[in-house]
Structure 1
């Protein structure tokens, strides 16, 4: 069966070969809550669809309007098989409970590297921040260089990012962008990091060639589902 959990996902798990992020627009905080509950009920009433799905998590946007979905799969073929056999009946039940959900698209990734939490760090993240960094067409090879520079900047500035629990950098399989999934102690900790003076390395990050745009969103973990 499918089992609901409160724990945040382990983004450093080496098993998944395919990672998916998607976003739904639901409109209001009340509809956010209703949709999360509908997802939980829909999945708990059914068997876990396949052993190739390791975990599925849902996050509520601080904007009060969106939900982010994150799932870990053994490979893309397993996800495509799920879409053909199991996805639509789940979508239909959720849409019956909360009509007119706008699905804004799904992107596929592989995790490149992480700035993982320190040994013994048991903090529970109070804030999840995702930052998407878009690159010029044909500049996909610069993405790893950019991530390496960010990880160096974090290492050079431990005090300015004391509230950062971990950061996980994903490369889109279409070659176009990087997605950073970062766990923070709180909104305050994140705001303080944004306001801290920039180091030389951070200036290099901000002026990196090939970057065409940066956009970020704040979330709280709302639902975790695993086989059970």
Structure 2
């Protein structure tokens, strides 16, 4: 699967122009990043954005079957508080596609994930898979 290059507003995992990093995390252990997924979420305001991200971390911590291809997630909130971008790192684009294949998103069907999916004041905006920055930088050199 050929992936596009990350858009120019993405400086790195922790820096996106016009956004501030709110929370990030991932499992311990080094896995090679083969795909970056930018997930866009529209929110009513910054308080809603922060509360939604916090609910994602609750769901992640209680996930009974984490997908082994997921590496990390860094949640950035736009300066006006009305959008969240999750910079998610995956082992491969295929791993991400597999995690979504059951139609329930990346998490299991749990109360915590249902809360994330039905959070008041939040609208799913979609996602795009990209080449990781390290791969793009290596191709340039």
For the aligned pair, the TM-score class normalised by the smaller chain equals 0.7 to 0.9
Is 1:112 the counterpart of 2:52? The answer is no
Q: Is the 8 A contact 1:160 1:193 kept in 2?
A: no
- Structure possessing the higher radius of gyration over alpha carbons: 1
Aligned length: 126
Q: How does 1:26-175 map to 2 (within 5 A)?
A: 61=4, 67-69=6-8, 70-71=10-11, 107-118=17-28, 121-136=29-44, 139-157=45-63, 159-175=65-81
Deviation at 1:160, TM superposition (A): 3.1
Contact 1:124-1:185 at 8 Å conserved across structures:
yes
Contact 1:115 1:167 in 2 (8 A): yes
Per-residue deviation at 1:126?
Answer: 1.1
Distance 2:65 2:23 in 1: 21
Q: Describe the shift of the 1:133–1:187 C-alpha distance in structure 2 as closer, same or farther (beyond 3 A).
A: same
Of structures 1 and 2, the one scoring higher in RCO (CA 8 A, sep 6+) is 2
Shift of 1:117: 3.8
User: SS of the residue aligned with 1:154?
Assistant: helix
5+ residue gaps, structure 1: 1-28, 30-59, 73-105
Give the Cα separation in 2 of the matches to 1:160 and 1:189. Answer: 12
Q: Tell me, yes or no, if structure 1 residue 202 matches structure 2 residue 113.
A: yes
The 2-side partners of 1:174 and 1:210 are apart by 15
RMSD: 2.3
Q: Is the 8 A contact 1:154 1:161 kept in 2?
A: no
TM-score, length-scaled by structure 1: 0.50
Q: Structure 2 CA distance, aligned partners of 1:160 and 1:192?
A: 12
Structure 1 position 68, deviation (Å) = 1.4
Encode CA deviations 1:47-99: one digit per residue, 9 max, x unaligned. xxxxxxxxxxxxx52xxxx6412226xxxxxxxxxxxxxxxxxxxxxxxxxxx
**Equivalent-residue separation in structure 2 for 1:67 and 1:123 (angstroms):** 20
Give me the whole-angstrom Cα distance separating, in 2, the residues matched to 1:132 and 1:202: 17
**Structure 2: distance between partners of 1:174 and 1:158:** 34
Q: TM-score, normalised by structure 2?
A: 0.77
